[in-house]
Structure 1
Amino acid sequence: MPKVKKGQTEGTKGPKNKRKRTEKTRDMGTSSAQAESLSEEVPQMMAPVSLHGDAAPGAPGGLDAASIPDMCQISAIACLAHQDMALLKGLDKQDLNHSPPPDQLSNSQGLRCSVWIVGSSIVRNAGIAALSRPGGQGLGLQTKGIDIWWQGYGGLRFVDLACKLRWLAQFENPPNLIVIHCGANDIGQVKTQKLLDRVRWDLRLLASIFPNTKLVWSFLLPRVAWRYSKNVRVMEQTRNRVNRAAAKEILGCGGRLLRHTQFLGKPKQLYSRDGVHLSGLGNDIYLNNLQSK
């Protein structure tokens, strides 16, 4: 066997060792890059998620459910109207199927959520009552990244709602959520079928005007007395029909529902003397419902 010179042996082994060291260095560089990538991903995964739509139940800023008098709850449950219960049962399944869970309204980028609460004197009075509560008109949700803009107008009718929202959009950017509590003032002034058609049409229109905004329908409250008719039973039937039509449209466009079941049965302590507006306790309950939603 021919002898291999020492220089040739060292020359042959040199490149091999160099290739091994190069591959090892490359592997170490890859592992280092992966480690750096992982270190960047971990803080993002562990970053706190800020609320973007729904406030957590029990948030500060109002009365808790436990503070409502027991007699009020008993009265409300004992006097539940048959039509109201039928309406709620009919919508429960749809609400669960179409309403997004609260975490879908949150964002992980720390952006603030803008909420408009628009409606008639019920909204106006609730906004005024919120001034004297802990958390103020923000309902204590400012720390959750939620900013509320109260827009309550006494006597506002649903037929004027779309124009009002278009007007408001001239002064503020489109919000993340619009809570609508409007329509009771139309009952008795506008023919029922015409009102139902208008509710369906205008809610679809609003969904197209505010494509990136989630609409929330706040159920019209029962009334002890109605201004435009003494036939309370017929007026309540119309109110239920309006709520049913609005709820169907809202769910169809990916919106949400805000119910106020404490007012079923019309507990007297929740209403003012006129039987239309809410008492101090009624306003507190209404605000609690908004806060927990």
Structure 2
Amino acid sequence: MLWKGVLPRFQAELSNSQRPPDILVIHAGGNSMGTMPAMNLASVMNNELMKLHSQFPSMAIAYSCITERQVWRNGPPGKVNYDRKCVNTFMQKAVGNLGCEVIQHPLLRFFDNNTYLPDGVNFNKKGNGIFVRSMRSVVMKILQKSHT
């Protein structure tokens, strides 16, 4: 999903329920890499997360870092990967300042052919398992905090 689709999708889902979720995990922005300068993208992402946080202060937000890929659709791989690192670094600080959680994916590396489908973008079963375990551990951390 492109980042610009995150808030509209959240608002559409929210209109179908009585209240916001207890925990919102956001993994988006990778498809937006290369479509605008990295710091512009990071700024838009930060501003929208700040709005979400202020609208729903009781909702825990977990930001999932943009993962490495073997193939980037919108630019040369080296440049887009550098931009990805810049966006992730910026967002980790911004999300931390909001008191939200960051989900990192250090085991998902572009050179590991055992975790990607042939398209070089999507994860295979093994890669998806690693991805989901990273998310699960942070969600469990949030749940443990809420019970203390």
TM range (shorter): 0.7 to 0.9
Structure 1 residue aligned with 2:107: 262
Q: Deviations over 1:40-65 (max 9, x none)?
A: xxxxxxxxxxxxxxxxxxxxxxxxxx
**Once the two structures are aligned, what percentage of the paired residues are identical?**
23
* Deviation of 1:174 (Å): 0.8
Summarize the Cα distance change of 1:274–1:265 in structure 2 as closer, same or farther, 3 Å threshold: closer
CA distance in 2 between partners of 1:275 and 1:263 (Å):
12
Q: Could you say what the CA RMSD is over the residues aligned between the two structures, in angstroms?
A: 1.4
Secondary structure of 1:261's counterpart equals coil
Question: Normalising to structure 1: TM-score of the pair?
Answer: 0.45
User: Cα offset for 1:258?
Assistant: 1.0
Structure 2 regions of 5+ residues with no counterpart?
Answer: 139-148
Correspondence 1:95-174 to 2 at 5 A: 156-172=1-17, 173-174=19-20
Offset at residue 186 of structure 1 (A): 0.6
User: Deviation at 1:260?
Assistant: 1.1
- Could you say which residue in structure 1 is the equivalent of 2:62? 216
Could you state the TM-score of these two structures normalised by the residue count of structure 2?
0.86
Could you tell me which residue of structure 1 aligns to residue 92 of structure 2?
A: 247
Give the 5 Å matches for 1:78-89: none
Please list every run of 5 or more consecutive structure 1 residues that lacks an aligned counterpart in the other structure: 1-155
Q: Which residue of 1 aligns with 2:44?
A: 198
**Change over 3 Å in CA distance of 1:237–1:257 after alignment to 2:** same
- Quick one: distance in 1 between partners of 2:20 and 2:110? 37
Alpha-carbon contact 1:158-1:186 (below 8 Å) kept? yes
Q: Pick from 28, 31, 34 the counterpart of residue 188 of structure 1.
A: 34
Counterpart among 283, 286, 292 of residue 128 in structure 2: 283
* Distance (whole Å) between structure 2 residues aligned to residue 266 and residue 216 of structure 1: 26
Q: Please state how far the C-alpha of 1:290 moved relative to its aligned partner.
A: 2.2
Cα distance in 2 for residues equivalent to 1:291 and 1:179: 10
Larger radius of gyration: 1
CA displacement at 1:214 relative to structure 2 = 1.1
SS of structure 2 residue aligned to 1:169: helix
| 1:191 Cα deviation from its structure 2 partner | 2.7
Answer yes or no: is the 8 Å Cα contact 2:38–2:84 preserved in 1. Answer: no
Residues paired across the two proteins, number: 137
The equivalent residue for 1:178 is 24
Deviation string, structure 1 residues 115-168 (Cα, Å, up to 9, x no partner): xxxxxxxxxxxxxxxxxxxxxxxxxxxxxxxxxxxxxxxxx2112211221221
Please state whether the residue corresponding to 1:244 is helix, strand or coil.
Answer: helix
What SS class does the counterpart of residue 273 from structure 1 fall into?
coil
Matched position secondary structure for 1:270: coil
Q: Which runs of 4+ in 1 moved over 6 A?
A: none
Task: Please give the per-residue CA displacement for 1:89-132, whole angstroms capped at 9, x wherever unaligned.
Answer: xxxxxxxxxxxxxxxxxxxxxxxxxxxxxxxxxxxxxxxxxxxx
Once the two structures are TM-superposed, the CA of residue 259 in structure 1 deviates from its matched residue by 1.1
